């Protein structure tokens, strides 16, 4: 249980900084509490119908990245967070937390 609480604290701190530094754009729907799958579908539908109404060709490609994030290099993740403006103290906090806990996805 403490791990889940820490995850929420880190998520809140990093999301606030990512939004503040404008790293997360308005079209981002994944991992966003305020956005749903339905909002994502409506957004895509709206964009596609506007393009079709303008007589433009539209291609839709669906990709499944569900396994792409099963393993993430902690050092690369930390570098990318730093490059996107995560402050040093939060970065160190995330690093210490990552080093202290095994990371798994999908319960595996």
Domain boundaries along the sequence of the chain: 63-100
Q: Which of 26 and 60 is assigned the larger pLDDT?
A: 60
pLDDT tens by residue, 24-58: 766 666 666 666 677 778 888 899 999 999 999 99
What pTM was estimated for this model as a whole?
0.42
Q: Which of 7 and 47 is assigned the larger pLDDT?
A: 47
Across the range 47-75, mean pLDDT stands at 83
- Smallest CA-to-CA distance from 84 within 20, 12, 35 is with 20
Residue 103 has pLDDT above 60, yes or no: no
Query: In degrees rounded to 5, what are phi and psi of residue 78?
Result: -65, -40
């Amino acid at each position: 249980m403490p791990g889940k609480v820490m995850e929420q604290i880190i998520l809140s701190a990093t999301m606030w900084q990512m939004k503040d530094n404008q790293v997360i754009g308005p079209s981002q729907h994944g991992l966003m509490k305020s956005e749903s799958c339905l909002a994502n579908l409506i957004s895509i539908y709206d964009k596609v119908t506007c393009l079709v109404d303008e007589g433009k060709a539209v291609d839709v490609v669906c990709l499944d990245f569900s396994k792409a994030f099963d393993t993430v290099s902690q050092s690369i993740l930390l570098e990318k967070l730093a490059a996107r403006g995560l402050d040093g103290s939060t970065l160190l906090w995330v690093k210490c937390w990552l080093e202290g806990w095994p990371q798994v996805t999908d319960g595996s």
